[in-house]
Structure 1
């Protein structure tokens, strides 16, 4: 009997593709075959191939199909986010052609789109295939995104002009306007217009998958379920298929075990502070020197993944290979050789966080990193850098209370004294111990969600059941996207 097939259409780049592969593996466990359709990052030929090569060999029931690259003329001063939206629309006809060619040979029962790919909802409507969105973030971020078009009509000022005024979103603690992503700070900007349009389109899907579990974000989930985030509009069902993260990396024997793990083996239990800032996070040389001084002054052991970029705030530019001799203070590595270890660019994060020597995690508050820390029971020092990370910080520090805030994260420079103080606070104080205990309690909830028959399994089964009933949903859905001529066309806010 032919397997039912689910098509996954991730966003561009490794941060969007890798979570889709984890979702694909879950779907295969339930008897489905999966086709992952990939695209090239704008003006970066070969980006798909390099991303796929970093992914462990998937199940034979998972196949990849790369759409032919599209040609976009470079536009001077075009923001990369807007360029990404333009590229997605250009790919629509190629996606339609590919899926149409499959229809005779493969039984496609659903399409799952990355939340960036809402312009491809039109393809599913044309083909009359149920369509779902996949959010790599949690319920609180989804609540914010869905509510942004509402805020657009009730707040006349730009967020950049509101400074420290609170932004209120149902189910989410108040967020300072300055903590909203930079791409939506200016309501007149092209990025803001694209974002609002993107988030308004999300509710046209038949459902939304998010990487969380309800016990982690009960307030946000309640607001999503009762429709408070999108008043007077249909709220699609939300499925909490999380925590969805990779298992502990098992490197090939030929590669050997990363040297940092051997160093951790020799350190006392819960004595090491781990510093890492994600796949795009990087610091200026000045900030790196401040971090170095703060770590040394704290007296605590550390494992630090150093990443640098000349323009540290431009996450769309590649990071450079760090030259530790020029970036770190003179003699730092010699003075701290018994205290810490510095590695360049990358460490096996899940293995590191689950090592018994790790006692704290200085993080950019990316959602995947937060979930990984939670499953390892490691409390956090929150240092958001870009995108929605400052909103995650609000959730981790104020709502869950599993992290402490690195003051000055939103300034040009976080000084060494603050870094030292927060490391000492987390590792030495009674309040720091309380944060650790709260994280341990959330770890128990996360583990419970993951066990066989837990909430992840239940939500996934509910999602798959709804897919099979989705023809009825399609029949009553909006016909806004059924005209082929709109496949290329952006719509205005």
Structure 2
């Protein structure tokens, strides 16, 4: 739906380049029609991008016996271990594959990170995959307007004022914030494990949960929200 409306201004204005989000793999082809180079923007770290590229290209060992057995990520700096459960669903894998092809077919990538933090992985990504990269983060420093920051994301089950009121009732530096981003999807068993871990830790927390299937209601341990009242705040998106 967006491809047509995008190509019209590209043809008329002839920009020097097009910056596109990783979720729009068709944008490179649209820009290519008019000889316009594309830069792909990634909101997450170069570590995450690099590790997903390695998993797509080299694949984990075939002799893994269970989804919970750990393996060392192949051809990746350090001794980073994962399980098959941590690799996400087929839908997520397909998205990453499309994203990899998009990066390979573009002029280069822009990443929300900085070299002093992730230099090892930035070097590995560039040397291993031959893609030009520019680390331009953290981009949160570019936008300091409160009004712009207020209009982001989906409507949550708890509004901003209620959340701030709850935080104000706690001691400084006593609350942990847990959020896995908009692309990560956990099944019910995984969500229950996270909830049980939070309860067992005794740590005060704010946990943002993105549920992709509203019909699945039985994803919290019985009595969890009652037991955590005053100790933890669960925000459902």
- Does the aligned pair in 1 maintain the 2:55–2:74 contact within 8 Å? no
In the TM superposition, residue 194 of structure 1 has moved relative to its aligned partner by 7.4
What is the SS of the residue equivalent to 1:342?
strand
**Offset of residue 219 of structure 1:** 0.7
| Count of matched residue pairs | 224
Q: Confirm or deny that 1:126 pairs with 2:17.
A: no
Residue in structure 2 matching 1:239, options 101, 124, 134: 134
User: Could you tell me which of 190, 195, 199 is aligned with 1:291?
Assistant: 195
Q: CA deviation at 1:214?
A: 0.6
CA distance in 1, matches of 2:231, 2:145: 23
Distance in structure 2 (CA, Å) of the matches to 1:197 and 1:285? 28
Partner of 1:5: none
1:136 is aligned, of 22, 39, 43, to 43
Match in the other structure for 1:411: none
- 1: CA distance, partners of 2:53 / 2:138: 21
**Structure 1 stretches of at least 4 aligned residues deviating more than 6 Å after TM superposition:** 158-162, 320-323
The answer to whether the Cα contact below 8 Å between 1:146 and 1:199 also exists between their aligned partners in 2 is yes
Cα distance in 1, alignment partners of residues 187 and 19 from structure 2: 35
Match of 1:167 in 2: 73
Q: Deviations over 1:20-44 (max 9, x none)?
A: xxxxxxxxxxxxxxxxxxx5xxxxx
Question: Which residue of 2 is the match for residue 262 of structure 1?
Answer: 165
Instruction: Say whether the 8 Å CA contact 2:51–2:73 is kept in structure 1.
Output: no
Instruction: Report how far residue 215 of structure 1 moved.
Output: 0.9
User: Does the CA contact (< 8 Å) of 1:144 and 1:169 recur in 2?
Assistant: no
Partner Cα distance (1:269, 1:342) in 2: 16
Q: 1:151 Cα deviation (Å)?
A: 1.4
| Contact in 2 for aligned 1:209/1:241 (Cα 8 Å) | yes
Q: Distance in 1 between matches of 2:196 and 2:95?
A: 39
Change in Cα spacing, 1:285 to 1:117, as seen in structure 2 (3 Å) is closer
Q: Distance in 2 between matches of 1:285 and 1:236?
A: 38
What are the superposed Cα offsets for residues 174-222 of structure 1, whole Å, 9 maximum, x if unpaired?
Answer: 33352662346xxxxx986775465245222111111111111111112
Is the alpha carbon distance of 1:161 and 1:257 closer, same or farther for their aligned partners in structure 2, counting shifts above 3 Å? Answer: closer
1:425-453 CA distance string (max 9 Å, x none): xxxxxxxxxxxxxxxxxxxxxxxxxxxxx
Counterpart CA distance in 1 for 2:107 and 2:85 is 30
Deviation at 1:274, TM superposition (A): 3.6
Seen in structure 2, the aligned counterparts of structure 1 residues 167 and 303 have a Cα distance that, compared at 3 Å, is closer
Question: Which residue pairs with 1:151 in the alignment?
Answer: 58
1:320–1:244 Cα change, 3 Å? farther
> 2:233 maps to what in 1?
342
- Structure 1 unaligned spans of 5+: 1-38, 40-66, 68-90, 185-189, 310-316, 347-493
State the match for 2:154 in structure 1. Answer: none
1:103 match:
11
- The change in CA–CA distance for 1:308 and 1:322 in structure 2 (over 3 A counts) is farther
Cα deviation 1:27-75 (Å, max 9, x = unaligned) = xxxxxxxxxxxx5xxxxxxxxxxxxxxxxxxxxxxxxxxx3xxxxxxxx
Shift of 1:238: 0.4
- TM-score where L is the length of structure 1: 0.37
Superposition deviation, residue 131 in structure 1: 1.1
| 1:72 match | none
Residues 273 and 141 (structure 1), Cα distance of their counterparts in 2 relative to 1, 3 Å cut: closer
Query: In the alignment, what sits opposite 1:220?
Result: 121
1-side partners of 2:194 and 2:105: how far apart? 47
CA contact (8 A) 1:308 1:320 kept: no
- Cα deviation code 1:121-179 (max 9, x no counterpart): 23322210111111222212232344456416xx7848787943322234454333526
Determine the C-alpha separation between the residues in 2 that align with 1:283 and 1:291.
Answer: 13
Name the SS of the counterpart of 1:117 in structure 2: coil
